[in-house]
Amino acid sequence: MSDSNKNENENSGDRLRSMLGLNHSPKDENGKFPKQRLNIWYVFIAILLFSYLQPFFFSDKVETIPYSQFKQHLTEGTLDNLIIGPEYITATLKGVPDRQISTIRVDDPGLVKELADSKVSYSGKYQNRLLSTILSWLLPLGIFFLFYFYAMKKMGPGAGVMSFSKNKAKIFAESDTNVSFADVAGIDEAQEELEEVVEFLSSPEKSQKLGGRIPKGVLLVGPPGTGKTLLARAVAGEAKVPFFSISGSEFVEMFVGVGAARVRDLFSQAASQAPCIIFIDELDAIGKARGVNTMGGHDEREQTLNQLLVEMDGFETNKGVIIMAATNRPEILDPALLRPGRFDRQVLVDRPDINGRKAILEIHTKNVVLSPDVDLGKLAGRTPGFVGADLANIINEAALLAARNEKETVELIDFDEAIERVVAGLQKKNRVMSAQEKEIVTYHESGHAIVAESVEHADPVHKISIIPRGISALGYTQQQPTEDRYLMTRSELLDRLAILLGGRVAEELVFNEISTGAQNDLQRASDIARTMVTQYGMSDRLGLVCYEQPRQVMFMPEGFPSAKNYSEAKSAEIDSEISKLIDEAHKRVQAILSERRDVLDELAELLSVKESISGDELRRILKQQKTKDESSV
């Protein structure tokens, strides 16, 4: 084929795609559009529209008139070339041959005599309705089917009606991944594990000569937003191999057997492009344990899982195909998926520590114009428990806030507001509160802050605010951890109980009344006290016994309470110990706030005026009060 003919065919294919509205995606490096799929339902809709509009475009332009007006024209002698059909009578007007009129034929025995008296030329007409009906349907159907098959030929194989059995994996070529380990930070241990996978794909003979084999599967486990998908793409980018990416939910459809067919098609396509990586995101969508769904089974999902197990078990490792998957719910996966020979490695992608958070912030702020007062190390210290997605969101929010205020750089105050937005919600400055409610919130938050600065094992207060945020927060006291913590002592938990009860006790002391504002505080305090007694063995009376175990999600649906493995008498003792811990914390907080009542009043007055104060101002007030007490002694 000559170049001119080839270009002409390509241009005709492009024009066809443009007519169909398929040229939404950009051309590739060769100037061609990617393969698209035409839905058969579009063809059926077009046929119905064509059939509906056919009479308007293919019928002659005839004016329909009432029969009485037709008789009037007949009496006046203005009709000519009259044709009497089975249902209609048509004629032309004398002197106006281009104008045709039509009327519905009625039972009129004297019509023929009137036509003869008027000397009008008339004739009858027989209409073959069956033939006309067949032609009106077959002709458009033939045209559209020819058009459909031509379009299918142009778009390539796999674009027909049965294309739903094909896998929906997105294929990234070696040059399309554009992600490397340099784009990953904060998960160094997981990265080291996967660097070995890259080495397997790059030079498999290095391990095979010693008798080793490439792992068949790598399961990435971790909380949402920690970078599991990014890490998988980085492996493909470093190894320079094709990357098949698909979500677990894309396997299962309404048709029976489609999921298993897509699994077979995916592995067959991957084997033809080995070495490569298959990445299944949200594996728990199809990998749930079989036979434990108490609310009813799903045969299609289990068939898909069975086919996946068969493909992974029968896959030859020397083909250079590695299956990677990600999930944040490993406890519900089928045990057959986790055995050696399928997912040989389980890599934990955990929340980053302070150094990891700083490294993540440095990556995401490469293209952000930062003010000199921004210290990424301090920002990392203020965001314990945040994952990579949270940190990226904070940086984006800070940049948007700075742009909204028409700043030249992103300042520290923008990051402070962004963190508060993520943690507490959007600020609601226009919410109208009564003076009494505002006073209650002011003393409530002042109580939290003073107790937090008075107990020994507590994070320092960073900010106190009575500006409403989020859905139901009328105020908040923000504490800034000084370091990442992985263990909590009994003293620290008791101090947290005291801080949570600080707002409720402040209301009792000042107003001799209590409000509903402490509902969330009481719920969190009760959870801490119950956990201390039933799981941590921190009760002297009950001893070193764990009375409650975490709910086994695999064998129990969500919302069902866990079964008790202790007697009713022991349950009463547990309730008594929980109440004892709460009561002791309540008395302790009463003593702290009664002793610092002057500080409570001063802080509440300052907070009602400024609405938001820093932790340094609180510590200054406490220091002044301490100096005053010492001088009075």
Closest residue by Cα to residue 243 from 162, 157, 170, 154: 170
β-bridge pairing 345-348 and 461-465: unpaired
Q: With a cut of 60, say whether residue 159 has pLDDT above it.
A: no
Say if residues 230 and 186 touch (Cβ distance below 8 Å): no
Is the model more confident about 22 or about 68?
68
308 vs 302: CA distance, rounded Å: 10
Q: Which domains does the chain have, with CATH numbers?
A: 37-164 (3.30.720.210), 170-348 (3.40.50.300), 354-424 (1.10.8.60), 435-632 (1.20.58.760)
| Greatest alpha-carbon span in the chain | 136
Q: With a cut of 90, say whether residue 270 has pLDDT above it.
A: no
**Which SS3 state, helix, strand or coil, does residue 279 take?**
strand
Q: With a cut of 70, say whether residue 364 has pLDDT above it.
A: yes
228-242 burial: b if 16+ Cβ within 10 Å, else e: bbebbbbbbbbbebb
Kind and range of the H or E run holding 422:
helix 412-424
Please tell me the least confidently modeled range out of 17-21, 455-459, 577-581.
17-21
Which pLDDT band holds residue 448 (cuts at 50, 70, 90)? very high
583 vs 577: CA distance, rounded Å: 10
Radius of gyration of the chain (CA): 39
Q: Which pair of structure tokens corresponds to residue 246?
A: 């698909």
Closest residue by Cα to residue 251 from 228, 285, 298: 285
Per-residue pLDDT tens for 190-231? 888 888 888 877 777 777 777 777 778 889 998 888 888 888
Say if residues 360 and 253 touch (Cβ distance below 8 Å): no
pLDDT > 90: percent of the chain: 19
267 vs 633: CA distance, rounded Å: 82
373 vs 558: CA distance, rounded Å: 47
pLDDT > 70: percent of the chain: 75
Half-sphere exposure of 272 (CA within 13 A, CB side): 6
Mean pLDDT of the chain: 78
Q: Which pair of structure tokens corresponds to residue 476?
A: 């908040």
pLDDT confidence of residue 136 = 65
Which pLDDT band holds residue 170 (cuts at 50, 70, 90)? low
Per-residue pLDDT tens for 501-544? 999 999 999 999 989 888 999 999 999 999 999 999 999 888 88
232 vs 245: CA distance, rounded Å: 9
Per-residue pLDDT tens for 110-129? 777 777 777 777 777 655 55
**Known active-site residue 445:** yes
Which pLDDT band holds residue 48 (cuts at 50, 70, 90)? low
How many CB atoms are located within 10 Å of the residue 558 CB? Answer: 6
554 vs 335: CA distance, rounded Å: 10
Average pLDDT (9-17) is 45
pLDDT confidence of residue 189 = 84
Say if residues 84 and 123 touch (Cβ distance below 8 Å): yes
pLDDT confidence of residue 3 = 46
Which pLDDT band holds residue 56 (cuts at 50, 70, 90)? low
pLDDT confidence of residue 446 = 93
List the catalytic residue out of 193, 445, 453, 507.
Answer: 445
Is the model more confident about 279 or about 24?
279
468 vs 474: CA distance, rounded Å: 4
pLDDT confidence of residue 41 = 64
**Which SS3 state, helix, strand or coil, does residue 410 take?**
strand
Is the model more confident about 555 or about 329?
329
Please tell me the least confidently modeled range out of 21-35, 172-186, 404-418.
21-35
Bridge partners of residue 83, in order along the sequence:
90, 123
Say if residues 321 and 271 touch (Cβ distance below 8 Å): yes
454-490 burial: b if 16+ Cβ within 10 Å, else e: bbeebbebbbbbbbbbeeebbbbbbbbbeebeeeeee
Residues contacting residue 232 through CB under 8 Å, at least 6 positions apart: 220, 243, 245, 277, 279, 324, 326
pLDDT confidence of residue 36 = 47
Give the single-character DSSP code of 288: B
Max avg pLDDT among 61-70, 291-300, 576-585: 576-585
Q: With a cut of 50, say whether residue 13 has pLDDT above it.
A: no
pTM: 0.65
Q: With a cut of 90, say whether residue 303 has pLDDT above it.
A: no
pLDDT confidence of residue 11 = 47
pLDDT confidence of residue 527 = 94
Say if residues 10 and 16 touch (Cβ distance below 8 Å): no
Average pLDDT (47-57) is 61
Say if residues 177 and 243 touch (Cβ distance below 8 Å): yes
Q: Which pair of structure tokens corresponds to residue 391?
A: 């940190």
